[in-house]
């Protein structure tokens, strides 16, 4: 039972990897997964965008075994 995580752009650089796998546990949310992952780097931003199985979602979204979660840095334009 696991969750696959993909990190993009500056998030991958700040955490130090582009992909990871975490053990799934009941009640796990996108936000709790990000908290666990971001503890690996003090440079990880607190504001992020997330998607579960290629659909954007809120940090409160509950995860299920086998989900794929992607984290993106906030997008800005000029």
Tell me the whole-structure pTM to 2 decimals. Answer: 0.88
Q: What is the mean pLDDT of residues 57-74?
A: 95
Return the ∠ at Cα 69 (arms to 63 and 73), rounded to 5°: 130
* Measured CA distances, 23 to 1, 36, 73 (Å): 6, 11, 24
Give the tokens for residue 47: 């504001």
Instruction: Convert the pLDDT of each residue in 1-31 to its tens digit.
Output: 899 999 999 888 888 889 999 999 999 999 9
Question: Residue 46 in 3-state DSSP?
Answer: coil
Please state, rounded to an integer, the average pLDDT across all residues of the chain: 89
Domain boundaries, the chain: 2-72
Q: Is 70 exceeded by the pLDDT of residue 44?
A: no
As a CATH number, domain 2-72 is 3.10.20.30
């Amino acid at each position: 039972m696991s969750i696959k995580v993909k990190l993009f752009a500056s998030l991958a650089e700040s955490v130090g990897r582009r992909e990871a796998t975490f053990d799934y546990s009941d009640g796990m949310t996108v936000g709790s997964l990000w908290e666990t992952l971001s503890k690996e780097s003090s440079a990880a931003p607190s504001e992020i965008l997330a998607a579960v199985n290629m659909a954007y979602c809120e940090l409160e979204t509950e995860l299920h075994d086998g989900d794929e979660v992607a984290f993106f840095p906030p997008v800005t334009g000029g």
